[in-house]
Amino acid sequence: MLIYLPIAEIPVNMFTILGMGAAVGFISGLFGVGGGFLMTPLLIFSGIPPAIAVATVTGQVAASSTTGAISYWRRRAVDVKLALILLVGGMIGTVLGIWFFNRMRTVGQLDLIIQLSYVTLLGAIGLAMLAESIRAMLLARRKNAKRPVKAGRHAWFHGLPLKMRFQASGLYISIIPVIVLGIFIGFAGTVLGIGGGFILVPALIYLFRVPTAVVVGTSLFQILFTMLAATMLHAVTNQAVDAVLALLLIVGGVVGAQFGARAGANIRGEHFRFLLALIVLAVGVRFAVDLTVKPDEIFSIAPRASR
């Protein structure tokens, strides 16, 4: 059944889009990630213009993060102070991302930037996750416990000024690296159409030692508001948010996430990370192939964005 997307200006099969939303929702529920880093590439591979795909997925990520953020808020599993500091950086990154997005779109380099960014980001993160998961599985087979972190060891940023105490996380650290992390997540989320949870959650756990009990809720809280801001800015500045497409993705994602959450209960943690790493790498490799393979049509005619 074909349905016309008013902003993308192309007809698509409604059930195909619903199926894509359900598939990414299943993966999101299975691995506990937002899924934007998969949804945006899938839309691009399906023929949706990259600018429309990125802008629309920010709205879908914001919607999918809402229920999770509310759930963790009710369970008091959100470090509100830490989330607000991250949000300050996230808003700065979002504004910078919108400026960069529009600038690259004006000069006609947005598609290339998105593809190169996905290859670099997903390739680096996928390889790191793959190495860590394989190491964890080998340790599990040898039945050796992971070496505990030595007491008193701190990262270099612990010596920075402007320290603040975060009671819910049990931290006393400088807000500078927290804001920088928020800026990066907000910028990447706006330019690439990703929530950034698959980057933010590991960073909070491994770099800042935030307890896992509050890290997911804190991440969702920050992602929710940065993606809402990104959606509104995309809609106002470049009119690239396709509400019809976003609605189909949200409906499919909600259904798929329920089945993914149930399936995830039977998979071990290291196997989780291994499978997710393979998915991340597969998407990065697909983008790399698109960049290197000679296209069928070398030349194309399209209207240039107005300055």
- 244 contact partners, CB below 8 Å, separation of at least 6: 3, 4, 5, 6, 7
Token pair listed for 191:
């330019």
Q: Where are the domains of the chain?
A: 13-145+155-291
In this structure, are residues 181 and 140 in contact, taking their beta carbons and an 8 Å threshold?
no
Q: Give the 3-state secondary structure of residue 33.
A: coil
- DSSP-assigned beta bridge partners for residue 5: 10
**Cα dihedral 136, 177, 194, 307 sign:** negative
Can you give the pLDDT of all 307 residues of the chain as single tens digits?
A: 788 888 877 888 888 888 888 887 777 666 556 677 778 888 888 888 888 888 888 887 777 777 667 777 887 878 888 889 989 998 999 899 999 988 888 888 888 888 888 888 878 877 877 787 787 777 777 765 444 444 445 566 667 778 888 877 777 888 888 899 889 988 988 888 777 777 787 788 777 888 777 877 788 788 888 888 888 888 888 788 888 888 888 888 777 766 765 665 555 555 666 777 787 788 778 778 877 766 555 545 555 544 4
- φ, ψ for residue 39 (rounded to 5)? -65, -45
In this structure, are residues 91 and 230 in contact, taking their beta carbons and an 8 Å threshold?
no
Token pair listed for 215:
């890290």
